[in-house]
Structure formats: structure tokens, C-alpha cells
Amino acid sequence: VYLTGLLGKAQLSLEQLFSGMSRENIAYPKSLFTPEPRIFEGMEIAKHANSMTDISDSLAISLNLISEKSGVSIVLDENLIPLDHLTEYVSQDKALELFLYSGGDYELVYTSKKKSFGFKIGEVVEGKGVWLKKGDKLSRIEFKGYSHL
């Protein structure tokens, strides 16, 4: 399981804006106001990916949909999830929540035996559901994120 870029930046910036921070001082204004869809990357990844989707609603929603439609389980490794771009502003727990459950980041998540863009965050295995591996413990990643309703 691979990502084309970092997640949580748009939601972090939105929360900073709503807390009263000026537009010029929020962490990632470009991610919030002018996100760039990964069109070129998507076309290249499509040549070898088993599955791929954008992460506009949340990584958790995207992975749960892939898991359900493909009849597989997805296990993310906490050690592979980059959070430094968020922990500069929020706690480790809040950073992980933003990374997994926030929307607005127009990155791609894909499954493939070959990495062409981005970085690895986990693997596809037999079973059902989406899980986060912390050491030798697994915890369920809920179907949660941005709702259009």
C-alpha cells in the first residue's frame, strides 16, 4: 500500500484558520486553498496498480472501500506513517488522527507490487477490514472521514 504524498495538511490548516490564525500564518495554505490533483502520477500508477483511489475524503474511507471491494485486508504499519509534518504543530495522537481521518488532501493511495511514486505505508493481506499495526498489536481503522451530507 503506497501514498503519493503527505496527508492531514489541509485539515490542519483549516483548523488553524478556524481557531483565528491568519491565512498567511497557517501551516499549509497551498494544501488548503489550491490543492493539486495527482493526474500525471495517477496515469503512471494505473499502468501497474491493483487498485487506486484519491484520498479527498480520508485515507480511512479510501482504504476501507478498497478492502471491501477487493475482499482483502489492509494493514498499515505505524512505523511507516510519516507524521513529522504534523507533529511540528500538534501532538502525535492528533497527527495520526489527521493523517488517517481528515479530508481535503488530493493524494492517491494505491496497492501494487511495484512502487512508482510516493512511499509505502502498509500491505495487503488475506482477511477483512483495515488495521493499524503498532508493534505486535492491531487496531481497527474505522470507516470515518469527511461526510458530504
* pLDDT tens for the 149 residues of the chain, in order: 999 999 999 999 999 999 999 999 999 999 999 999 999 999 999 999 999 999 989 999 999 999 999 999 999 999 999 999 999 999 999 999 999 999 999 999 999 998 889 999 999 999 999 999 999 999 999 998 877 66
Domain annotation covers residue 25: yes
Q: Which pLDDT score, from 0 to 100, does residue 56 have?
A: 86
Domain annotation covers residue 104: yes
Q: What CATH number is given to the structural domain containing 98? A: 3.90.650.10
**pTM of the entire predicted model:** 0.93
Domain annotation covers residue 29: yes
Q: Which pLDDT score, from 0 to 100, does residue 31 have?
A: 95
Q: Which pLDDT score, from 0 to 100, does residue 101 have?
A: 97
Domain annotation covers residue 12: yes
In angstroms, rounded to a whole number, what is the distance separating the alpha carbons of residues 56 and 7? 10
Q: Which pLDDT score, from 0 to 100, does residue 149 have?
A: 60
Q: Which pLDDT score, from 0 to 100, does residue 59 have?
A: 98
- CA-CA-CA-CA dihedral for 48, 120, 74, 101, to nearest 10: -110
Domain annotation covers residue 118: yes
Residue 73 pairs in a beta bridge with: 125, 129
User: Into how many domains does the chain fold?
Assistant: 1
Domain annotation covers residue 145: no
Say if residues 57 and 103 touch (Cβ distance below 8 Å): yes
Q: Which pLDDT score, from 0 to 100, does residue 114 have?
A: 87
Domain annotation covers residue 148: no
Domain annotation covers residue 96: yes
Residue 107 pairs in a beta bridge with: none
Residue-range definition of the domain harbouring residue 120: 2-140
